[in-house]
Structure 1
Amino acid sequence: MSEQTKHEMKTIEELSEGNVGVKRTLTFGRGVGVLGGLIIGSGIFYTSSYVLDYSYGNPGIAILAWVLGGLICLGAAMCLAELASIMPANGGTYLYISRIYGKAGPLLAFTMGWSDALIGIPGNVAIALVGATYIGTLFGGFSAIQISCLAAGICIILTLFNMIGAKEGSMLSTVLLFIKVAAILCVILACFIFGENTGDPITFTNMAGSGSIISALSFSVVAVLWCFDGWNSICHMAGELKNPKKNISRVMAVTIAGITVIYLLFNFAIMRILPVSDIIASENVTFDVVEILFGKGAATVITVAIICSVIGSLNSCILVYPREIYAMSRDYRWFTPCGRLSKKRKQPVAASLYILAMMVFYCFAASFRSLVDIIVLYNWIYFMLAVLGVIVLRKKRPDLERPYKTFGYPVVPILVAFCALVMLIVNFVWDPSTALGFIIPLTGIPAYYAFQYYFRKRGYPKFEDEAEGEASAE
Structure 2
Amino acid sequence: MSNSTDSAASQGSPQSPHLLRRLSLLQGTALNMIDMVGIGPFVVLPLVIQLMGGPNFIWAWILGAVVSFIDAFIWSELGAAYPQAGGSYRFLKIAYGEERWGKLFSFLYVWQTLIQAPLVVASGSIGFAQYASYLFPLDEWSGKAVSGTVVIIVTMLIYRRIDSIGRISLVLWVAVMLTIGWIIVGGLTNATVSFSDVLGQAMHLDGNLLSAGLGASSVKTIYCFLGYYNVCHLGGEMKNPERNIPLSIFISIAGITLLYMLLNLSVVSVVPWQEAQKSTFIVSTVIEAIYGAKAAGVATGLVLIVAFSSLFAVMLGYSRVPYAAAVDGQFFKIFAKLHPTRHFPYVSVLFLGGVAFGFSLLFRLSDVITAILAMRIVVQFIGQAIGLWLLHRRKATSHFPFRMPLYPLPVILAIAVWSYIFISTGWSFMVSGLTVIALGVVAFLLTANIRKQWPFAPKQNRL
TM above 0.5, yes or no, is: yes
Structure 2 unaligned segments of length 5 or more: list them.
12-17, 454-463
- Return 316-325 or 266-275, whichever deviates more: 266-275
Q: Supply the AA of the counterpart residue of 2:188.
A: F
Confirm or deny that 1:343 pairs with 2:344: no
CA distance in 1, matches of 2:289, 2:116: 40
Indicate the SS of the match to 2:425: helix
Asked if structure 2 preserves the Cα contact closer than 8 Å seen for 1:123 and 1:362, the reply is: no
- The 3 A distance-change label for structure 1 pair 327 and 201 is same
CA distance in 1, matches of 2:110, 2:430: 19
CA distance in 1, matches of 2:49, 2:363: 30
Confirm or deny that 1:97 pairs with 2:95: no
CA distance in 2, matches of 1:130, 1:276: 22
Equivalent residue number for residue 413 of structure 1:
411
- Return 349-358 or 368-377, whichever deviates more: 368-377
Match of 2:433 among 423, 430, 437: 437
Deviations along 1:394-417, one digit per CA (max 9) or x if unpaired, are 112126521111233211121122
CA distance in 2, matches of 1:284, 1:369: 15
Match of 1:285 among 266, 269, 282: 282
CA distance in 1, matches of 2:81, 2:421: 28
1:378-417 alignment, distance < 5 Å = 378-381=375-378, 382-398=380-396, 401-417=399-415
Confirm or deny that 1:308 pairs with 2:326: no
Asked if structure 2 preserves the Cα contact closer than 8 Å seen for 1:33 and 1:173, the reply is: yes
Equivalent residue number for residue 221 of structure 2:
224
Indicate the SS of the match to 2:293: coil
Match of 2:28 among 26, 31, 43: 31
CA shift for structure 1 position 226: 1.9
Deviations along 1:166-186, one digit per CA (max 9) or x if unpaired, are 222232232122112111111
1:106-185 alignment, distance < 5 Å = 106-138=103-135, 140-185=136-181
CA distance in 2, matches of 1:142, 1:396: 57
CA distance in 2, matches of 1:95, 1:454: 23
Deviations along 1:272-323, one digit per CA (max 9) or x if unpaired, are 2232212222223222221221112211011111110110001111211110
Deviations along 1:26-55, one digit per CA (max 9) or x if unpaired, are 111110111111111112224222222222
Indicate the SS of the match to 1:121: helix
CA shift for structure 1 position 91: 0.8
CA distance in 2, matches of 1:295, 1:184: 18
Asked if structure 2 preserves the Cα contact closer than 8 Å seen for 1:33 and 1:171, the reply is: no
Match of 1:66 among 32, 51, 61: 61
TM-score where L is the length of structure 2? 0.87
- Return 363-372 or 182-191, whichever deviates more: 363-372
Asked if structure 2 preserves the Cα contact closer than 8 Å seen for 1:38 and 1:230, the reply is: yes
Asked if structure 1 preserves the Cα contact closer than 8 Å seen for 2:88 and 2:233, the reply is: yes
Q: Supply the AA of the counterpart residue of 1:414.
A: I
Indicate the SS of the match to 1:230: coil
Confirm or deny that 1:80 pairs with 2:75: yes
CA distance in 2, matches of 1:170, 1:408: 35
Aligned-residue CA RMSD (Å): 2.7
- The 3 A distance-change label for structure 1 pair 198 and 283 is farther
1:255-274 alignment, distance < 5 Å = 255-274=252-271
CA distance in 2, matches of 1:229, 1:303: 23
* Count of matched residue positions in the alignment of Structure 1 and Structure 2: 440
CA shift for structure 1 position 89: 0.2
Asked if structure 2 preserves the Cα contact closer than 8 Å seen for 1:54 and 1:216, the reply is: yes
Asked if structure 1 preserves the Cα contact closer than 8 Å seen for 2:58 and 2:202, the reply is: no
Asked if structure 1 preserves the Cα contact closer than 8 Å seen for 2:22 and 2:238, the reply is: yes
Asked if structure 2 preserves the Cα contact closer than 8 Å seen for 1:387 and 1:413, the reply is: yes
TM-score where L is the length of structure 1? 0.86
- The 3 A distance-change label for structure 1 pair 318 and 240 is same
Equivalent residue number for residue 252 of structure 1:
249
Asked if structure 1 preserves the Cα contact closer than 8 Å seen for 2:35 and 2:309, the reply is: yes
- Return 238-247 or 273-282, whichever deviates more: 273-282
- The 3 A distance-change label for structure 1 pair 371 and 271 is closer
Equivalent residue number for residue 448 of structure 1:
444
Deviations along 1:110-147, one digit per CA (max 9) or x if unpaired, are 11211221344344212112223433442x32232222
CA distance in 2, matches of 1:282, 1:68: 23
Asked if structure 1 preserves the Cα contact closer than 8 Å seen for 2:39 and 2:303, the reply is: yes
Asked if structure 2 preserves the Cα contact closer than 8 Å seen for 1:207 and 1:276, the reply is: no
- The 3 A distance-change label for structure 1 pair 403 and 368 is same
- Return 229-238 or 146-155, whichever deviates more: 146-155
